[in-house]
């Protein structure tokens, strides 16, 4: 150690800096690569048809296409974006662990990371494809920072400012943003409170948030459905508070419980709202007006018109016309979904953090029972919940409360299957597959951001009118296209990483995050 302490500073900078290839958890790269394949298998429908068009393109599915669609709906849809979100939360936790006691430095670095991701997402939307997820992930990452580090007064000011900005921007209704704010505040209480008075403060905070949500629905909304929605979220929050009252788990375990609750809360709230609509008199809710009755039909008409315009622009228009359309309409989807993704993805981020904090990701050999249980018990049970739950929802469709409550099964099953896929990645990596026969999948996962964006470039040029124009391809041929693209990307990733430390976009992202240029090439 030198007298001026320079060596400790260098050591601290190294620990807070980017993860080098030799320090990577190879199972995570394997899982990211698998998630990239699964996400493209789902996204290819939106590349190939408007996001507002059914998977069959409005036509009857042929027998083979129907089988492929069922397999993908059962084993892929909602599972791999869930897995990717869990992996995102694991990356957050790894960065936080490496920061050590330097929490202020971590917050600054992660804010730069989130802002860079938001910029990548915005450019992705305008220049390439409007189905981007990066912008929503960036917003959710900022939300997670606020939950874990934000003080109460700053959180209050931030929430008010966000609601005002969204109102001016024409984004999600203030009701949605208020709900997200209240749920985030109670999650912060649950995760951060400690000491003998923790349960009392948490109970008071939960009740106060539930009352605020209920009052907003009663006096701040003139639409009956919106008022019932607020009541549903208020009751769901009270249920969570009641469960938390008896909770004596440690800090790591609370991450898991809060994450699962965030992920499933919208479904439970919807079930409560549907039950209230059926079991309470209409006079209990705000009076219906012609304007409120016309809103759903107007919304459906707007979505249909936007879908038809998108079909025309992407199937027949030039690249410049596509850019113009996306610049005008592309941000509506991520803004409209900000509330639901803020809850769902935010919950999955917390689940990912739990996997790191609990030691399951850092020392998988010590947690083989957990990984084996998730793989060989959780995955099959999740599959049964998805298949059976969807059938039960369909059978109970005449009863909206029952159907809404039963929809918890496929949602919980999707989470269980995503964790099962992650467990398979850890079990395979433990046997050396990430360095052996599946190294090409792991290589694509090391370049996940680059490959995700490149998938959009390749798919838009293949399907859109300004490229090869294969707009409207059948589901089976979509899957063949995806497998071919992924094989090319995996081979290209292995070739690139043989001489480089990072993918091109990963390198740029790290440069922005750590405010210093990382070495790109591997020196002999």
What pLDDT is stored for residue 56 in this prediction?
Answer: 47
Three-state DSSP state, 330? coil
Q: Which residue, among 513, 452, 507, 510, has the nearest Cα to 485 in the 3D structure?
A: 452
In a domain, 33, yes or no: no
In a domain, residue 330? The reply is yes
Helices assigned H by DSSP within 431-499: 439-446, 448-463, 475-497
Question: What range defines the domain where residue 285 resides?
Answer: 142-345
Residue 390 lies inside a defined structural domain of this protein: no
Classify residue 275: in a domain, yes or no.
yes
Q: Which residues of the chain have pLDDT under 50?
A: 1-14, 22, 51-52, 54-61
CB atoms within 10 A of CB 209: 23
In a domain, 290, yes or no: yes
Which residues have a Cβ under 8 Å from the Cβ of 263 and sit 6 or more positions away?
343, 344, 347, 348, 351, 411, 415
pLDDT value of position 8:
42
Identify whether 229 is part of a domain: yes
Neighbour count for residue 51 (Cβ, 10 Å): 15
pLDDT for position 2: 40
Residue 434 forms part of a structural domain: no
**Angstrom distances, CA of residue 28 to CA of 79, 88, 250, 445, 452:** 16, 10, 25, 8, 16
- Residue 141 in contact with residue 113, Cβ under 8 Å? yes
With both helix axes pointing from N to C terminus, report the angle between 134-149 and 174-192 in degrees, rounded to the nearest 10. Answer: 50
| Number of domains composing the chain | 1
Residue 462 lies in a domain: no
Q: What is the pLDDT of residue 52?
A: 45
């Amino acid at each position: 150690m030198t007298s001026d302490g320079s060596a400790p500073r260098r050591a601290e900078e190294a620990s807070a800096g980017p993860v080098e290839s030799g320090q990577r958890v190879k199972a995570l790269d394997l899982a990211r690569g698998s998630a990239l394949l699964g996400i493209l298998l789902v996204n290819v429908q939106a590349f190939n048809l408007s996001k507002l068009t059914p998977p069959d393109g409005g036509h009857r599915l042929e027998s083979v296409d129907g089988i492929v669609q069922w397999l993908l709906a059962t084993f892929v849809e909602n599972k791999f974006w869930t897995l990717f979100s869990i992996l995102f939360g694991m990356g957050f936790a790894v960065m936080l662990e490496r920061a050590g006691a330097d929490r202020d430095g971590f917050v600054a670095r992660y804010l730069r990371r989130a802002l860079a991701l938001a910029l990548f997402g915005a450019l992705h939307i305008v220049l390439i494809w409007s189905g981007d997820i990066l912008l929503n992930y960036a917003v959710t990452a900022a939300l997670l920072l606020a939950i874990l580090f934000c003080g109460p007064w700053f959180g209050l000011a931030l929430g008010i400012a966000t609601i005002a900005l969204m109102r001016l921007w024409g984004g999600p209704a203030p009701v949605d943003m208020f709900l997200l704010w209240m749920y985030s505040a109670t999650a912060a209480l649950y995760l951060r409170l400690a000491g003998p008075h923790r349960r009392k403060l948490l109970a008071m905070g939960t009740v106060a948030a539930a009352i605020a949500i209920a009052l907003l629905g009663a006096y701040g909304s003139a639409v009956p459905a919106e008022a019932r929605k607020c009541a549903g979220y208020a009751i769901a929050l009270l249920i969570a508070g009641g469960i938390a009252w008896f909770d004596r788990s440690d800090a790591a375990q609370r991450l898991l419980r809060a994450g699962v609750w965030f992920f499933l809360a919208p479904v439970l709230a919807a079930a409560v709202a549907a039950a209230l609509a059926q079991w309470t008199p209409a006079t209990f809710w705000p009076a219906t007006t012609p304007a409120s009755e016309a809103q759903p039909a107007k919304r459906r008409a707007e979505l249909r018109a936007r879908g038809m315009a998108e079909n025309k622009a992407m199937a027949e228009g030039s690249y410049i016309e596509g850019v113009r359309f996306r610049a005008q309409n592309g941000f509506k989807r991520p803004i409209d979904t900000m509330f639901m993704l803020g809850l769902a993805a935010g919950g999955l981020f917390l689940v990912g953090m739990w996997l790191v904090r609990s030691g399951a990701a850092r020392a998988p050999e010590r947690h083989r029972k957990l990984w084996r249980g998730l793989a060989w018990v959780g995955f099959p049970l999740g599959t049964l919940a998805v298949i059976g739950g969807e059938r039960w929802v369909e059978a109970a469709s005449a009863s909206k409360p029952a159907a809404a409550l039963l929809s918890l099964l496929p949602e919980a099953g999707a989470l269980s299957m995503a964790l099962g896929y992650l467990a398979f990645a850890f079990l395979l990596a433990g046997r050396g597959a990430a360095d052996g026969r599946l190294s090409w999948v792991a290589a694509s996962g090391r370049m996940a951001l680059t490959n995700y964006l490149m998938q959009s470039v390749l798919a838009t040029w293949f399907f859109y009118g300004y490229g090869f124009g294969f707009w409207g391809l059948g589901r089976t041929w979509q899957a063949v296209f995806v497998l071919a693209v992924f094989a090319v990307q995996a081979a290209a990733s292995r070739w690139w990483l043989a001489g480089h430390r990072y993918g091109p976009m990963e390198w740029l992202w790290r440069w922005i995050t750590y405010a210093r240029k990382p070495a790109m090439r591997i020196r002999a």
